[in-house]
């Protein structure tokens, strides 16, 4: 929430007329029902409305007003004291509710009958939270919070509630005893609550639920990075942000959201959506017309990675004018603007999240020259802390500096040379030139990482793994004249094709111009090395996982790191998927020992547990 003091001091947003009677929904045209999306809820645009303050007698009128606004979902808060297991009453100075979460059954049942999905934020009590954190009891308090969150989720599942949020603004001093010079400690404390609570709620509800981290106050990339350092990836279904202080215009907010999203990308989390469970602007700051304009512009220009956005708030309350309505229920111009945009946006399908296969437009010009050496994109472009725009590929990266300079480099930071147009296909042209006819293009890289050249009667294509295809214009494979059989090295006869693992995909594709045509399949030498030979050199992997790329002259083109001894067994079990080591093992701040490979990484926690994952953090 906006930084207005303790949550328990917030005034309930029950619309009151001047005589104290709760009014009926105002006579605005009911908004059409939002299209059902892949999450089986009300859509992308929701609304904060403190339904936890409503009673069974007032909830119906308030839900009618929420539906009239066009909101597809309503967010509310449940306050808890994990140390006692009690649910607290914000309408009665945070006193314990004798009947616990069942106190709200009538309100949730009314929402279910009205067809209004609810998103529940489970907020730990301020006093018990601060006491536990200051006493160094984050772990035990976290387990208590997780148990209570799981019980609440299980109870509310009978009303179809699927969306849960674990706390509120833990990077704000009003919600957490945070020392801003020590965000690592504060983030570790929060994750001691969030991670077990995520598992508990997921366990209670199953895979079709959506359990998200607490919304972060402001543009706080350092705190978000600290959360990743302490295990956020895999423990939230969305990264949650409250963009109040991120700019005065939607364009500024989008720019700051992009900076937060770049943190996600750098942590391999680009496929996780972003939620904005609070988003707002005060009419007291920009005027009624300015607030309405802000609503319209902000909600119609959300970045595609923002999957849900909840406006804060339905009503004004003392000290804050974020509401679509005043405190007495009078609609402000922002109500009509919200109704129009929410109805329109909620009728659209949710945008796709992430696209790891697209070449960023800023890198497209160099990709056409260097695509054969770079290989396929491994993620979207992102901004580094120094302002560089960077996109990584299977075999290197492209980097655009703030002054407009473009750099194209290999994974070991060597500047690349643009490949000549015909050299990757020289061998294929020697076999198929008569059938293909004259060239109709130079060699170019496709967005999916393929290298291609077209001819009058067909084309040649090389996939990122080095596979070569020669086809006619109807996409039929051509039959080549039978070439003379290549001679295998006399000291190490190759094994039959397919009998050995192939650890050389990335290196074979990257060094194809230097190595020339393939002259053997992968085979095992007597000393245990894996080897593959080419017209001008060979690839070799020693038993410790080190990969060598050498020319026939013996000149070494490239050498990887060795597999750390602690990971040898795990590496050999997953060798094909992991590929060659991309660097030596190193110890993270958390104490984990980690080694990164071309296709993933191995991690050993301080207790000795081994975890083997792909670069997208999927377990192997």
Check whether residue 123 and residue 57 sit in a common domain. yes
Residue of higher predicted confidence among 64 and 14: 64
Task: Provide mean pLDDT across the span 243-257.
Answer: 78
Write down the pLDDT at residue 3.
31
Task: Supply 386's token pair.
Answer: 């120094």
Phi, psi values for residue 134, rounded to 5°: -70, -20
* 3-state secondary structure (DSSP) of residue 451: strand
pLDDT one-digit tens code per residue, 369-406: 777 678 777 777 777 777 788 888 878 888 887 767 78
Phi, psi values for residue 479, rounded to 5°: -100, 120
Check whether residue 173 and residue 255 sit in a common domain. yes
Check whether residue 335 and residue 195 sit in a common domain. yes
Task: Supply 464's token pair.
Answer: 């990122």
Check whether residue 146 and residue 75 sit in a common domain. yes
Residue of higher predicted confidence among 501 and 476: 476
Phi, psi values for residue 547, rounded to 5°: -110, 135
Q: What is the CATH number of the domain that holds 74?
A: 3.20.20.80
Write down the pLDDT at residue 407.
84
Non-local (6+) Cβ contacts of 598 within 8 A are 394, 506, 578, 579, 580, 582
Q: How far apart are CA 378 and CA 582, in angstroms?
A: 15
Q: How far, CA to CA in Å, does 245 sit from each of 47, 224, 252, 298?
A: 19, 16, 10, 14
Task: Supply 592's token pair.
Answer: 């984990």
Residue of higher predicted confidence among 348 and 309: 309
C-beta neighbour count of 591 within 10 angstroms: 10
Residue of higher predicted confidence among 34 and 516: 516
Which residue is listed with tokens 């008569």?
434
Non-local (6+) Cβ contacts of 493 within 8 A are 523
Q: How far apart are CA 620 and CA 604, in angstroms?
A: 14
Per-chain mean pLDDT for the chain: 80
Contact indicator for 45, 345 with CB cutoff of 8 Å: yes
* DSSP symbols for 502-546: ---HHHHHHTHHHH-SB-S--EE-TTS-EEEEETTEEEEE-TTS-
- Using alpha carbons, select from 345, 274, 354, 349 the residue that is nearest to residue 37: 349
Q: How far apart are CA 517 and CA 532, in angstroms?
A: 11
Contact indicator for 510, 375 with CB cutoff of 8 Å: yes
* DSSP symbols for 252-289: HHHHHHHHHHHHHHHTT-TTS-EEEEEE---HHHHHHH
Of 88-92, 144-148, 267-271, 592-596, the least confident: 267-271
**In a domain? residue 226:** yes
- Using alpha carbons, select from 85, 115, 117, 112 the residue that is nearest to residue 101: 85
pLDDT one-digit tens code per residue, 601-617: 898 888 888 888 887 67
Q: How far, CA to CA in Å, does 581 sit from each of 13, 275, 411, 551, 558?
A: 57, 36, 12, 21, 12
Phi, psi values for residue 310, rounded to 5°: -115, 115
**In a domain? residue 492:** no
pTM of this prediction?
0.58
Check whether residue 446 and residue 536 sit in a common domain. no
Residue of higher predicted confidence among 139 and 207: 139
* 3-state secondary structure (DSSP) of residue 337: helix
Check whether residue 315 and residue 194 sit in a common domain. yes
Q: Which residues, in sequence order, are bridge partners of residue 211?
A: 164
Region of residue 330 (phi > 0: left; psi between -120 and 50: alpha; otherwise: beta): beta
Contact indicator for 10, 50 with CB cutoff of 8 Å: yes
State how many domains the chain has.
5
Q: How far apart are CA 148 and CA 248, in angstroms?
A: 38
Angle at 306 between CA 302 and CA 312, to 5 degrees: 75
Contact indicator for 447, 457 with CB cutoff of 8 Å: no
Task: Provide mean pLDDT across the span 124-146.
Answer: 96
Check whether residue 317 and residue 233 sit in a common domain. yes
Write down the pLDDT at residue 233.
92
* 3-state secondary structure (DSSP) of residue 113: helix
Q: How far, CA to CA in Å, does 117 sit from each of 162, 290, 349, 565?
A: 8, 30, 17, 52
Check whether residue 316 and residue 444 sit in a common domain. no
**In a domain? residue 368:** yes
Q: Which residues of 37-65 are buried (b: 16+ CB within 10 A; e: fewer)?
A: bebebbbbbbbbbbbbbbeeeebbbbbbb
* DSSP symbols for 302-323: --TTEEEEEES-SB-BTTB---
Non-local (6+) Cβ contacts of 479 within 8 A are none
Check whether residue 555 and residue 572 sit in a common domain. no
pLDDT tops 80 at residue 337: yes
Domain that holds residue 65: 37-346
Task: Provide mean pLDDT across the span 478-482.
Answer: 54
**In a domain? residue 452:** yes
Check whether residue 78 and residue 167 sit in a common domain. yes
Among 297-301, 367-371, 526-530, top mean pLDDT goes to: 297-301
pLDDT tops 60 at residue 96: yes
* 3-state secondary structure (DSSP) of residue 550: strand
**In a domain? residue 491:** no
Check whether residue 313 and residue 382 sit in a common domain. no
Task: Supply 389's token pair.
Answer: 């725009």
Check whether residue 289 and residue 230 sit in a common domain. yes
Angle at 215 between CA 210 and CA 217, to 5 degrees: 170
pLDDT tops 70 at residue 49: yes
Parallel/antiparallel/unpaired status of strands 444-445 and 406-410: unpaired
Where are the alpha helices (H) located in 546-609, listed in sequence order?
568-573, 575-578
**In a domain? residue 177:** yes
Where are the alpha helices (H) located in 416-499, listed in sequence order?
426-436
445 confidence band (pLDDT: 50, 70, 90): low
pLDDT tops 90 at residue 473: no
Q: Which residues, in sequence order, are bridge partners of residue 95?
A: 89
Task: Provide mean pLDDT across the span 578-594.
Answer: 82
Residue of higher predicted confidence among 327 and 17: 327
Write down the pLDDT at residue 418.
54
Task: Provide mean pLDDT across the span 193-198.
Answer: 96
pLDDT tops 70 at residue 30: no
* DSSP symbols for 357-411: TPPPGGGHHHHHHHHHHH-SB-S--EE-TTS-EEEEETTEEEEE-TTS-EEEEET
**In a domain? residue 276:** yes
**In a domain? residue 232:** yes
Contact indicator for 337, 255 with CB cutoff of 8 Å: no
Of 6-10, 80-84, 200-204, 429-433, the least confident: 6-10
């Amino acid at each position: 929430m906006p930084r207005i003091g303790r949550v328990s001091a917030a005034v309930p947003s029950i619309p009151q007329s001047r005589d104290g009677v709760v009014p009926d929904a105002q006579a605005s045209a009911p908004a059409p029902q939002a299209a059902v999306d892949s999450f089986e809820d009300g859509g992308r645009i929701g609304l904060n409305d403190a339904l936890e303050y409503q009673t069974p007698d007032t909830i119906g009128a308030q839900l009618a007003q929420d539906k009239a606004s066009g909101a597809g979902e309503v967010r509310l808060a449940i306050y808890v004291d994990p140390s006692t297991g009690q649910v607290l009453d914000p309408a009665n100075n945070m006193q314990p509710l004798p009947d616990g979460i069942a106190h709200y059954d009538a309100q949730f049942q009314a929402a279910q009958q009205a067809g209004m999905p609810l998103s529940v934020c489970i907020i730990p009590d301020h006093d018990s939270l601060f006491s536990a954190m200051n006493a160094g009891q984050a772990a035990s308090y976290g387990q208590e919070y997780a148990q209570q969150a799981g019980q609440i989720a299980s109870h509310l599942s009978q009303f179809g509630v699927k969306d849960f949020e674990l706390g509120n603004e833990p990077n704000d001093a009003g919600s957490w005893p945070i020392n801003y010079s020590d965000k690592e400690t504060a983030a570790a404390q929060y994750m001691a609550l969030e991670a077990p609570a995520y598992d508990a709620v997921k366990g209670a509800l199953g895979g079709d639920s959506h359990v998200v981290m607490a919304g972060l106050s402001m543009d706080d990339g350092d705190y978000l990075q600290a959360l990743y350092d302490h295990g956020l990836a895999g423990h939230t279904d969305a990264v949650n942000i409250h963009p109040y202080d991120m700019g005065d215009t939607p364009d500024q907010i989008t720019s700051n959201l992009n900076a937060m999203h770049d943190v996600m990308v750098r942590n391999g989390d680009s496929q996780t959506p972003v939620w904005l469970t609070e988003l707002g602007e005060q009419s007291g700051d920009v005027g009624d017309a300015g607030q309405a304009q802000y609503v319209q512009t902000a909600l119609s220009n959300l970045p595609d990675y923002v999957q849900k956005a909840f406006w804060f708030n339905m009503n004004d309350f003392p000290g804050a004018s974020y509401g679509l309505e005043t405190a007495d229920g009078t609609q402000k111009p922002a109500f009509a603007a919200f109704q129009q945009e929410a109805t329109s946006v909620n009728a659209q399908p949710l945008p796709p999240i992430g696209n790891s296969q697209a070449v960023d437009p800023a890198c497209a010009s160099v990709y056409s020259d260097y695509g054969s050496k770079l290989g396929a994109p491994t993620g979207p472009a992102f901004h580094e802390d120094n302002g560089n725009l960077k996109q990584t590929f299977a075999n290197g990266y492209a980097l655009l500096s703030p002054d407009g300079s473009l750099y194209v480099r290999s994974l070991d930071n060597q500047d690349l040379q643009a490949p000549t147009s015909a050299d990757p296909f020289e061998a294929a042209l020697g076999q198929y030139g008569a059938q293909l006819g004259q060239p109709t293009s130079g060699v170019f890289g496709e967005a999916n990482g393929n290298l291609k050249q077209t001819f009058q009667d067909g084309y040649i294509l090389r996939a990122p793994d080095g596979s070569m295809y020669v086809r006619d214009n109807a996409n039929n494979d051509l039959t080549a004249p039978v070439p003379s059989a290549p001679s295998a090295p006399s000291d190490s006869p190759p094994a039959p094709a397919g009998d050995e693992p192939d650890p050389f995909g990335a290196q074979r594709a990257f060094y194809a111009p230097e190595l020339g045509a393939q002259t053997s399949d992968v085979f095992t030498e007597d000393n245990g090395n894996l080897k593959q030979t080419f017209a001008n050199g060979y690839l070799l992997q020693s038993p410790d996982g080190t990969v060598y790329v050498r020319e026939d002259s013996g000149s070494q083109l490239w050498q990887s790191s060795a597999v750390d001894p602690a990971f040898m067994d795990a590496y050999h079990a997953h060798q094909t998927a992991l590929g060659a080591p991309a660097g030596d093992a190193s110890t993270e701040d958390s104490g984990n020992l980690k080694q990164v490979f071309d296709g993933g990484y191995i991690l050993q926690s301080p207790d000795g547990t081994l975890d083997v994952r792909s670069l997208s953090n999927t377990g192997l």
